[in-house]
Amino acid sequence: MANNLLLFVLIALPSVIYADKLLSVAACQRGGNYGTGTIKEVRITPCPEAAQRRPCILRKGTNVTIEVDFEPTVGATDVTGRAFWANRMLELPLPNMNTNACATMTCPLQPNVAQTYRYVLPVSRGFPTRRYDVRWKLTASPFNMCFQFPIQILN
Ligand SMILES: *[C@@H]1O[C@H](CO)[C@@H](O)[C@H](O)[C@H]1NC(C)=O
C-alpha cells in the first residue's frame, strides 16, 4: 500500500515540477485591474522559461495547458473564455477554441469563491513563429476578467 502510494507520487511528480507559475501576467488595460475578479496565479505547463522570468516558449505540435486561479467578485453562469493574439492596435481571436469556460470550472461562479480555469491549447503548426502577447478574456455579464502574457512560438 505504502509502495503504491510512493509510486503514485513519483509518477505524478513531473507534472508538478513542470507546472510553472507565470510571473509576467498583466491586466489588459495599462494600469487597470483584471475586471470583476482577482487573479491569484497563472500557470503554463510546460514553461521552464517562467523560472527565468522569460516568455513561455510554445512549441508547434504540442499541447500547452493554461491554468488560472482567481476569485470573482460577482457571480456568473455560462462563462465564455476566449484567447486573442494582441497588440496595441488589434486583437485577433484564436480560431477553433472551446469557448465554454464552465467546462473546467464550477459554474455558476459564486462571488469570493476561488475558481480555477483550465485550458489545453494545441499549438497549431499554422501559428506564425514569433513573439506575441496573448490576451485571455473570461466573460459572462456582469462578470468579466482580462489578462495577458507574452509567449514565444517556435517550431
Ligand atoms: C493534444 O490534446 C489532444 C486533445 O486532448 C489530443 O488528441 C492530442 O493527442 C494531444 N497532442 C499531443 C501532442 O499531446
Instruction: Express each pLDDT in 4-38 by its tens digit.
Output: 555 554 444 443 344 566 667 889 987 788 999 99
Q: What residue segments make up the domains of the chain, in order of their start?
A: 10-154
Closest by CA to 112, choosing from 70, 62, 79, is: 70
Q: Decide which of 2 and 70 is more confident.
A: 70
pLDDT in tens, 35-69: 999 999 999 999 988 888 889 999 999 999 999 99
**Which residue from 18, 59, 60, 63 has its CB within 8 A of the most atoms of ligand 1, so it is best to mutate?**
63
C-alpha cell at 125: 503548426
Ligand 1 lined by 59 (C-beta under 6 Å): no
> pLDDT at position 112, please?
97
Ligand 1 lined by 124 (C-beta under 6 Å): no
Ligand 1 lined by 24 (C-beta under 6 Å): no
User: Check: CATH 3.40.640.10 for 10-154?
Assistant: no
Which of the residue ranges 6-10, 94-98, 120-124 would you say has the lowest mean pLDDT? 6-10
**pTM for the whole structure:** 0.83
